[in-house]
Amino acid sequence: MRLTTVALLILTTISTAQAKHIKTKPVKTSAAIAPSHESLVRQNLAINEMHLERIQNEFELSCLVKAGGLVALPITDAVRIAPSLPANRRYALPGTVSFLLLLSEAYRQHFNAPLVVDSAVRPVAVQQRLRRTNKSAAPAEGETASSHETGTTFDLSRNVTHAELRWLEEMLGMYQAYDVVIVEEEKNCLHIMVLE
């Protein structure tokens, strides 16, 4: 409910500004931030406040999908899933999927193109394997563990135009200002954790 209210407020503000041809000032800052220890700690504090459990392995992931705790990422005119994302990891919490739908539809209406999701839920066991080959990946455990392990997070490809990236940064900056998301701008993706 909170997400819907905030989303409508932001979309109304943007639509009103566009209707009046008002140029909005770009968000230059913390709209998307470089990955940092502080950001990871903040994400983990939010996970604790939401009382979320970390998904340990593929079996737990499968059980959560069957029970409806995690839902499939949408495949629409506004959302495309990267072929490299394994089918069994194309899931997230319902609120996370709702936010993705909202953001992607606004993006599609603006640019007539879909957003590409590179990553979503990732069990602890997968994060541990990833960490062995990618030293910049967040750890699987501790105060800076990856938020992907809870189903709250998805990554969007940064393979977009400069104008599209700027629009995403501005939009995500507004959502972050309303404590709807925590965003990190990584080299190849925008890491978006949705706060339930």
How far is Cα 1 from Cα 90, in angstroms, rounded to an integer?
Answer: 24
Q: Which residues pair with 153 in a beta bridge?
A: 193
Q: How many CB atoms lie within 10 A of CB 68?
A: 8
How far is Cα 42 from Cα 25, in angstroms, rounded to an integer?
Answer: 27
Q: Which CATH class is domain 2-194?
A: alpha beta
Residue with the two structure tokens 């189903």 = 151
Assign 1 a pLDDT band (cuts: 50, 70, 90).
low
83-105 pLDDT, tens digit each: 999 999 999 999 999 999 999 99
pLDDT at 8 over 60: no
Q: Can you give the C-alpha Rg of the chain in angstroms?
A: 16
pLDDT at 193 over 90: yes
34-82 pLDDT, tens digit each: 888 999 999 999 999 999 999 999 999 999 999 999 999 999 999 999 9
Average pLDDT, the chain: 87
Whole-structure pTM value: 0.84
The β-bridge relationship of strands 115-119 and 91-92 is unpaired
Q: State the pLDDT at residue 161.
A: 97
**Interaxial angle between packed helices 94-111 and 2-19, expressed in degrees from 0 to 180 and rounded to the nearest 10:** 10
All residues at 6 or more sequence positions from 28 whose CB lies less than 8 Å from its CB, including other chains: none
Assign 6 a pLDDT band (cuts: 50, 70, 90).
low
pLDDT at 24 over 50: no
